[in-house]
Structure 1
Amino acid sequence: MVAKRLLERWGHAVVLAQTGREAVAAHAQQKFDVILMDMQMPEMNGFEATAAIRAAEGTSSDGTPIVAMTAHAMKGDRERCLAGGMDDYVSKPINPAVLFDVIDRVLVSRMSPAPM
C-alpha cells in the first residue's frame, strides 16, 4: 500500500492485484508501463506470475518492465529475480527515492533505441 500511495502522489494510475493470478489476468486485459511484482502473493507467487506474463509476451523485446518487491531481502534474491525475468528489484520497506530511481531506470531502458 505504501508503493500505491507514492505512485498516486507522483501522478500515476495504479491497478492493484491481490494475487499472482489477478496480476497475470490484469496484464492480459490492458497494457501497463511498469509492473511492481510482490514476491509473496497467494495462489501464484511473484516468480510464477512473472513467468506467466513473460510467456504471454513471447519473444517480444518490448515486454512490460517488471520490478520485484520483497520484504525478504536475502543475499542472491536480486539475481534470482533478474534470472526469473524481472527487470529490477526493490526491497521493503520501500524507500521512495529508490523506488522512483528503479522505475525511472527500467522505463528509460525500455525506451532506449536498440544499437545498430
Structure 2
Amino acid sequence: MNGYEVTRQIRQEEKNYDLHIPIITLTAHATFEEENKSILSGMDFHLIKPIQDRDLIHTIITICQ
C-alpha cells in the first residue's frame, strides 16, 4: 500500500469520527503532477525534499491555526 492509498483510507475512516487528521506529503517528486496527485488523494500539504526548515515550520503553523 502506498501513501496515496493510505491517505484515502484515512480520509474514509475520518468520516466515522467527524475529524480531520492533517497529512503532509514529504517527497522528492517536485512536479506539478505529483503535487496534484497528492492533493487529490486527500493530502493537505506537499513538501519537497530536501525540506527547508522554514517550509516545514510554515506548514505546521498553518495546520495549528
Common topology (TM > 0.5): yes
8 Å CA contact 1:50–1:86 kept in 2: the answer is yes
* 2:61 counterpart letter in structure 1: D
Q: Name the counterpart of 1:23.
A: none
* 2:4 is the alignment partner of 1:50: no
Structure 1 residue runs of 5 or longer lacking an equivalent are: 1-43, 109-116
Higher helix share: 2
Q: Which runs of 4 or more aligned residues in structure 1 lie more than 2 Å from their structure 2 counterparts after TM superposition?
A: none
Q: CA RMSD in A?
A: 1.4
Query: Identity over aligned residues, as a percent?
Result: 34
- TM-score normalised by the chain length of structure 1: 0.50
Shift of 1:105: 0.9
Deviation, structure 1 residue 52? 1.2
1:21 corresponds in structure 2 to none
1:94 partner SS: coil
Q: Name the structure, 1 or 2, with higher relative contact order (CA <8 Å, separation 6+).
A: 2
- Deviation of 1:75 after TM superposition, in Å, equals 2.2
The answer to whether 1:98 aligns with 2:55 is yes
